Homo-oligomer: A and B are copies of this chain.
Amino acid sequence: MAKPTVDFWYEFASTYSYPAAFRVEAVAARFGVAVRWRVFALGPLFKAEGLPADSPFNWQAAKGRYMWRDVARLCADLDLAFAPPDPFPQPSLLAARVALLGEDAGWDAAFAKAVFAAEFADGAPIGERGVIAGILTDLGLDADAILEAATSADNKARLRTVTGEAHGLGIFGAPDFVTPDGELFWGNDRMEAAFRWALAHAERVPGGAPGG
């Protein structure tokens, strides 16, 4: 049976996407599923729900206070440094546009984790071109060429298309996990349930290598 691939949908401004990004690979390996990282933009989906463009954690005060405490607890359990970004949410479009290019080239997960760490552990302003350039350079990549391609009209349109795909899947928050049969699981805390679902509903692929 081929290893099922679960899509991990994340948004750089999303607090719960941070611990999810730092545990998804280990948890997937433990379950024996493959993960495809899928960056998207959450703002347009808030708008589609008729919500303010700002984070719900800002315009719902008690929920916001709870979220900061909850994410701090989750990160402590994972031995993951955590400091709330200021301001929150951070502008995430530039990083998302760059991550799309990384999906093609295979450095998206490494880039995404570096951006999340810069944002949620180191307090870096990830909306700034210089911060993203520094992360790309640290990964041994050509920052100038990537940033030029990332901010092209074509690539901006690509992020809109991908975000429309997320909307079509029923996504309204982040992070999410979508199984090969299209089942949606919302939240860092549903990662394991999504992987279990993917394994329980995996189709047998004729000629597929066992566990392959």
Contact = CB atoms under 8 A, between A and B. Distances in A.
Interface residues of A, number: 27
Interface in A86-138: none
Q: How many of these chains are in the complex? A: 2
B62 A172 contact: yes
11 contacts: A45-B62, A49-B63, A62-B167, A62-B171, A66-B170, A66-B172, A66-B184, A66-B186, A70-B186, A189-B189, A189-B190
A48 interface: yes
Contacts of A62: 45, 48-49, 167, 170-172
A171 B65 CA distance: 10
Given A62-B171, A70-B185, 7 more contacts: A49-B60, A51-B60, A62-B170, A63-B173, A66-B184, A70-B190, A189-B190
A184 B45 contact: no
Interface string A177-199: 00000001111011001000000
A168 to B, nearest CB: 10
Interface in A155-169: 167
A38 B114 CA distance: 43
A6 to B, nearest CB: 15
A186 B70 CA distance: 9
Identify which of A45, A69, A167 gathers the most chain B CB atoms within 10 Å of its CB.
A69
A23 to B, nearest CB: 15
A199 to B, nearest CB: 14
A61 interface: yes
